[in-house]
Amino acid sequence: MAGNVQGRKARQLTKIDASGVSYRELNAMLRDAVWNGTQRIELQNVYGQRYIGTDLNKPVEIEIFGVPGNDLGAFMNGPRIIVRGNAQDGCGNTMNNGEIIIHGHAGDIIGLSARGGKIFVREDVGYRAGIHMKEYEDKKPVLIIGGTAQDFFGEYMAGGIVILLGLNLKEGERHKARFIGTGMHGGVIYLRGGVDDFQLGKEVGVAEVEEEDYQTLQKYVGEFAAHFGYDAAEILKHKFTKLFPLWLRPYGRLYAY
C-alpha cells in the first residue's frame, strides 16, 4: 500500500513506499520512524518529494530509490542519506553534520551554506555548487564531485573543502565552468584537470598542491572511491590544482561607510 510503513515497533529496517505520497506526509513518516528508534530507512518509488531528511538529528541511514526533490538533507544534523540515482537542487542546504551520497548527478546549489558534514556525488553537478559553504566552530563541510560542474562553482565560499575530480573528462579535456570561486573568501577548492585563468573569479589564487593538501586529498578521495567503487590511487596519480581566496573580505569595502 502506498505510504505504508512496514511495522509499528522500532526495527532495524523500516521500508516506506513513497508512491503518491506528498512531501509533507512522507517527511512526517520519516520523523516518526526515527523517533521510534529505527536505524535504517528504505524509501522506494521516490519521485521528486522535497525536503527528505530535513532537520533530522539522529545517526539514521536513509536509502532512497528514485529521484528526491529539492533541499534533500537541508539543515540535517547526523543522518546518512544514500541516493540510488540522481538528485535535484539544493542538496545539503545549510547542512550541519552527516553524509549525503549520490550515485548519479545532482542539480544546482548543492552544498548551499553547508557548515558541516560531507556530500559525495558520483557524476556531474549543476550551477553554483558549493555556494557560500562555511565553517562553524569545529565543523568543516566537504563536497566531492566525481564529474564536472557548471558556472559559478564555489561562489562566495567562506569555508570548507570542495574537490572536483572530472573523472568523465577525456584526456586533455578541461573543465568548462566559468566564474569559479567568484567572491570566494574562505575555504579551498581542489581541481583534478585543467582550467584557464579566465575561468576563475578575480578573488581566486592558484597554487601547487603541497604535502598537507595531498593528505587531505588522500582522505576524501579515498572515501569517495570507497562509496562508488573507484581506485583512489589511480585518481590521485593525476595532477591537482589548489584554488584559494586572495582576500578575507573581497567586497567589504562596498559596504563600509
pLDDT at 248: 72
In a domain, 158, yes or no: yes
Domain interval for residue 186 = 105-251
Domain count for the chain: 1
Average pLDDT value over all residues in the chain = 92
In a domain, 146, yes or no: yes
In a domain, 64, yes or no: no
Q: 37-62: per-residue pLDDT in tens? A: 899 999 999 999 999 999 888 999 99
Single-letter amino acid, residue 115: R
pLDDT for 30 beyond 60 = yes
Which strand ranges, in their side-by-side order, compose the sheet holding 77-83? Answer: 13-17, 40-47, 61-67, 77-83, 97-102, 118-121, 142-145, 158-164, 186-192, 240-245, 204-208
Single-letter amino acid, residue 187: G
For position 118, which CATH number holds? 2.160.20.60
Q: 175-192: per-residue pLDDT in tens? A: 999 999 999 999 999 999
Ranges of beta strands (E only) in the chain are 13-17, 40-47, 61-67, 77-83, 97-102, 118-121, 142-145, 158-164, 186-192, 204-208, 240-245
Q: 118-175: per-residue pLDDT in tens? A: 999 999 999 999 999 999 888 999 999 999 999 999 999 999 999 999 999 988 899 9
This prediction has a pTM of: 0.92
Provide the grid cell at 108. Answer: 544546482
